[in-house]
Amino acid sequence: MRSFRFPVQSRLGQALVLMALGISALGGCSTLQSSDSTLLGLITPYRIEVVQGNVLTQEQVALVKPGQTRAQVRDVLGSPLLTDSFHGNRWDYVFTIRRQGTEPQQRQVVVYFDGETLKSIQGAESLPAEREFVNSIDNAKAPRNPKPLVLTPEQLKELPVPVQAAAPASAPEGAVRTYPPLERS
């Protein structure tokens, strides 16, 4: 049987083909990611946190009542993310957040005006309370074995007795300096 040998130029071609196959195989690794964004359970890629818009809570929207002026609404809710020149009676407050370790969130509240006074608010019923919102974006894990904050009476008895400091000398050692008065007499 006859053996087949590659010339030197085709070995370079083979190396390029193998590199291209390796790169394309690594590009396919993105399909191996699990739902918690880890690559093969070992590597967690960095994902930038994206926060856009105004955070609105139930407590904020409860302060806004029909009949208030645009300035009063802006003072409570902040400037709207979207104002449309074709729909001057409508302000859109949109909020989105994508934070690693938490579910992405998107909310939209539309405020309608009749001239310069507030007419109605749409989408406010789906807003979370402030505490609920903070809990939904908090991705800090609680420690598994939290340390106690207060010592038990047995632990207090085990503490070493504090050493009494020596009494200070009654008179300073060395030459005593005198200074001129700070104010004129």
* 157 lies in some domain: no
Separation in Å, CA 77 to CA 9, 14, 68, 151: 69, 64, 12, 46
pLDDT of residue 3: 59
pTM: 0.52
pLDDT of residue 2: 62
* 61 lies in some domain: yes
pLDDT of residue 32: 45
pLDDT of residue 33: 43
Count of structural domains, the chain: 2
Q: Which domain holds residue 89?
A: 50-137
Are 59 and 101 members of one domain? Answer: yes
* 77 lies in some domain: yes
Are 129 and 59 members of one domain? Answer: yes
pLDDT of residue 27: 63
Are 99 and 58 members of one domain? Answer: yes
Are 18 and 71 members of one domain? Answer: no
* 36 lies in some domain: yes
pLDDT beneath 70: ranges in the chain: 1-10, 24-41, 141-144, 148, 167-172, 185
